[in-house]
């Protein structure tokens, strides 16, 4: 099956190219550059919109609506991942502490996903073509029976969420959206700290120097960096573009 293509602005070039494997991505852990599982490709103007099932590829859009769609895509990914976790044998047999943590993360991500869908629908008004559709995912590369596979992937996704919100917050112009984004990123950071604490041996891993810099500040990455850095994970099957988002 042909992998999905999620394209960003053609003038942007990823720091180290787009050919990192999923294994390398997961080994990067919480990342200097983090993301949420998209295969992206820079392209010519002639190839910016590929036909999908007879129609055009959805573009996230520009301005606040584009950032909301971007966040919605990430929340759909996390919600879908934790839905699979809850159906897997690892969670069924996990310790009571880990079950509680993962169940809370699942509930929070579903709430975040549904919030963004409602917010975008309201912002788009009658033009429903501006609302990102429900995405299709492929988590076949994750072993949901294995603790390390589940928690290792969760760690990356949660660190991703924090860096994504930190990088996108300054792009929002509507104060209400910025307030909500600030509240959500604080929850994502709690998720990341919880997963790091139960998965990593280092007692300081909850705020490791791979995600918190020498000034005590979280990593922040732009939408282009987030999307490009995780190009080869293959988690997202639905094609969409991000051609109008700032680099």
The lowest-confidence range among 100-104, 156-160, 229-233 is: 229-233
DSSP string, 168-203: HGGG---HHHHHHHHHHHHHHHHHHHHHHHHH-S-T
Please provide the size of the chain in residues: 247
Residue 101's pLDDT is what? Answer: 96
Question: Across the chain, what does the average pLDDT equal?
Answer: 78
What's the whole-model pTM score?
Answer: 0.78
Residue 95, token pair as written in the block:
């310790």
Cβ count within 10 A of residue 243: 18
Band (112; pLDDT cuts 50, 70, 90): very high
Residue 238's pLDDT is what? Answer: 87
**pLDDT digit string, tens, across residues 20-30:** 333 333 333 33
**Domain architecture of the chain: domains with CATH:** 22-241 (1.20.1260.10)
58-59 and 240-241 as β-strands: parallel, antiparallel, unpaired?
A: parallel
**pLDDT digit string, tens, across residues 39-91:** 333 233 333 333 344 457 899 999 999 999 999 999 999 999 999 999 999 99
In contact, 105 and 154? CB cutoff 8 Å: yes
Q: How far apart are CA 158 and CA 147, in angstroms?
A: 16
């Amino acid at each position: 099956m042909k992998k999905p293509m999620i394209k960003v602005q053609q003038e942007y070039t990823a720091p180290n190219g787009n050919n990192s494997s999923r294994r390398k991505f997961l080994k990067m852990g919480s990342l200097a550059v983090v993301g949420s599982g998209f295969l992206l490709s820079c392209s010519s103007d002639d190839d910016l919109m590929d036909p999908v099932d007879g129609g055009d590829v959805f573009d996230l859009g520009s301005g606040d609506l584009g950032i909301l769609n971007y966040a919605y895509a990430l929340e759909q990914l996390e919600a879908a991942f934790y839905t699979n976790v809850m159906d897997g044998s690892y969670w069924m047999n996990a310790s009571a502490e880990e079950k509680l943590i993962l169940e809370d993360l699942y509930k929070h991500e579903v709430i975040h996903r549904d919030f963004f869908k409602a917010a975008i629908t309201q912002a788009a008004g009658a033009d429903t073509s501006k609302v990102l559709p429900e995405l299709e995912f492929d988590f076949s590369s994750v072993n949901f029976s294995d603790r390390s596979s589940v928690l290792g992937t969760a760690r990356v996704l949660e660190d991703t969420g924090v860096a994504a919100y930190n990088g996108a917050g300054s792009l929002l112009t509507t104060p209400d959206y910025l307030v909500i984004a600030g509240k959500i990123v604080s929850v994502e950071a709690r998720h990341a700290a919880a997963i790091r604490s139960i998965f990593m041996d280092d007692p300081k891993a909850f705020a490791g120097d791979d995600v918190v810099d020498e000034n005590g500040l979280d990593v922040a990455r732009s939408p282009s960096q987030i999307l490009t850095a995780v190009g080869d994970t293959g988690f997202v099957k639905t094609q969409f573009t991000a051609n109008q988002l700032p680099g």
